[in-house]
Chains A and B, each alone.
Chain A
Amino acid sequence: DTGVSQDPRHKITKRGQNVTFRCDPISEHNRLYWYRQTLGQGPEFLTYFQNEAQLEKSRLLSDRFSAERPKGSFSTLEIQRTEQGDSAMYLCASSSAQGSYIEQFFGPGTRLTVL
């Protein structure tokens, strides 16, 4: 499978626990994005990496959220001290810097439920 993969696909946790999600982009893509999507809404931009550099971070990303892409390949998104409001689908997407436009390819997402 050469698409974007995310792990786990589902995560149920108790309020206050820390969770970490992983995203593996398409191998030749140097750009990686994290989004959060709640029911009935479009994806909300969280953060963006070009290679290993985190170039932009949304104000939506509170101090409890952190993302890394240490070697410019896979990325992790960690949420500390989870709250019920963090329950959502967390989507990862990747794109290539080549070409005249930027198409983002989305992974299947990680659905987080905070009890």
Chain B
Amino acid sequence: QKEVEQNSGPLSVPEGAIASLNCTYSDRGSQSFFWYRQYSGKSPELIMFIYSNGDKEDGRFTAQLNKASQYVSLLIRDSQPSDSATYLCAVNRDTGGFKTIFGAGTRLFVKA
């Protein structure tokens, strides 16, 4: 079992729709959770982080965490073509940010 699992996609949504990206993790001791966006040929950039169960909203992005189910999700509202990228889920065992485990990423296409 992979430590962090994501559906590789591609996930295709029309412009203006909600894109829902999911991630599960295997280590129950995980404490901090991140979503990175990676455009083709570029480096990952952090878009959201979450530590506590529940929802966290930042603009068009909402991260959801359910530690009991070991599940993290990212919702992108009013999806834009510029959101087309690979979204990487990342998990740390502690909040110190030492060893970060990344999923393989989900490719998102937003159709204009």
Contacts and interface: CB of A to CB of B under 8 A. Distances in A.
A107 B88 contact: no
A33 B101 CA distance: 12
B69 interface: no
B92 A102 contact: yes
A95 interface: yes
Contact of B44 (A44, A45, A101, A106): A106
B8 A40 contact: yes
B60 to A, nearest CB: 19
B102 A42 contact: yes
Contact of A102 (B42, B97, B103): B97
Interface residues of A, number: 25
Nearest to A111: B41
Interface in B1-51: 4, 8, 32, 42-46, 49, 51
Q: Which among A40, A42, A95, A103 has the greatest number of chain B C-beta atoms within 10 A?
A: A42
Interface string A40-65: 11111100100000011010000000
Contacts of A35: 102
B103 to A, nearest CB: 5
Contacts of A72: none
Interface in B49-99: 49, 51, 88, 90, 92, 95-99
A106 B45 contact: yes
Nearest to A91: B43
Given A106-B44, A108-B43, A42 B51 contact: no
Contacts of A22: none
Contact of B51 (A56, A101, A107, A109): A101
Contacts of A43: 44, 88, 102
Given A33-B100, A41-B104, A42-B90, 14 more contacts: A31-B97, A40-B8, A41-B105, A42-B88, A43-B88, A45-B99, A55-B98, A101-B32, A101-B97, A102-B95, A106-B43, A106-B44, A108-B42, A108-B43
